[in-house]
């Protein structure tokens, strides 16, 4: 039976390992959805008020450039992942690419998209945070595990 497999992607090697795992493990009859959520680094690009401090207004372009660069890196990672799946024998019609702007939080947005798309499985790479960073910040994969109530989640080392 064909399934929908959602692979949550960023621009890391861990995400590409998750794609590689899917390509090596799952049958070609399955649909693979490659999803990236563009992090909302700052809302600075959306601000346009007369009351903005002059110093901040002069730095606004730099904030916007960071957001654009991050989105560009995600687009490149998605295309590389698509090519990896295609090279592994997945038909073009079985590969779907989704790039979404962050709404509520990256982990919440991943789970929401999995629900909306009726994905059977969420696959993501385990982030290599140090123990202290992971304790204080948590990780996207950990949050997805906590939030996902009615779908399977597979973490790839």
pLDDT at 146 over 50: yes
Give me the mean pLDDT over the 39-62 stretch. 61
Dig out the tokens for 88 from the structure: 């592994």
Distance from C-alpha of 45 to C-alpha of 2, rounded to nearest angstrom: 42
Calculate ∠ Cα 14-19-22, nearest 5°.
125
Cβ atoms 102, 46 nearer than 8 A: no
Higher pLDDT, 144 or 58: 144
Domains of the chain, CATH where assigned:
4-156 (3.40.50.620)
Distance from C-alpha of 77 to C-alpha of 21, rounded to nearest angstrom: 16
Dig out the tokens for 98 from the structure: 């989704």
Distance from C-alpha of 61 to C-alpha of 120, rounded to nearest angstrom: 41
pLDDT at 10 over 60: yes
Reported in sequence order, the residue ranges of the chain that DSSP labels E, i.e. its strands, are 4-9, 31-38, 95-101, 121-125, 152-156
Confidence class for position 54, pLDDT limits 50, 70, 90: low
61-111 residue pLDDT tens: 666 777 678 889 999 999 999 999 999 999 999 999 999 998 988 999 999
């Amino acid at each position: 039976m064909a399934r929908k497999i959602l692979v949550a992607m960023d621009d890391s090697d861990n995400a590409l390992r998750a794609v590689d795992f899917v390509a090596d493990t799952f049958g070609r009859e399955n649909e693979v959805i490659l999803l990236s959520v563009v992090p909302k680094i700052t809302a600075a690009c959306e601000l346009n008020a007369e009351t903005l401090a002059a110093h901040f207004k002069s730095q606004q372009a730099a904030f916007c450039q960071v957001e654009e660069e991050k989105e560009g890196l995600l687009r490149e990672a998605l295309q590389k992942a698509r090519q990896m799946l295609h090279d592994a024998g997945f038909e073009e019609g079985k590969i779907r690419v989704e790039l979404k702007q962050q709404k509520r939080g990256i982990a919440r947005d991943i789970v929401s998209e999995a629900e909306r798309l009726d994905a059977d499985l969420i696959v993501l790479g385990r982030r290599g945070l140090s123990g202290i960073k992971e304790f204080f910040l948590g990780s996207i994969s950990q949050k997805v595990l906590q939030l996902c109530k009615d779908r399977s989640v597979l973490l790839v080392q």
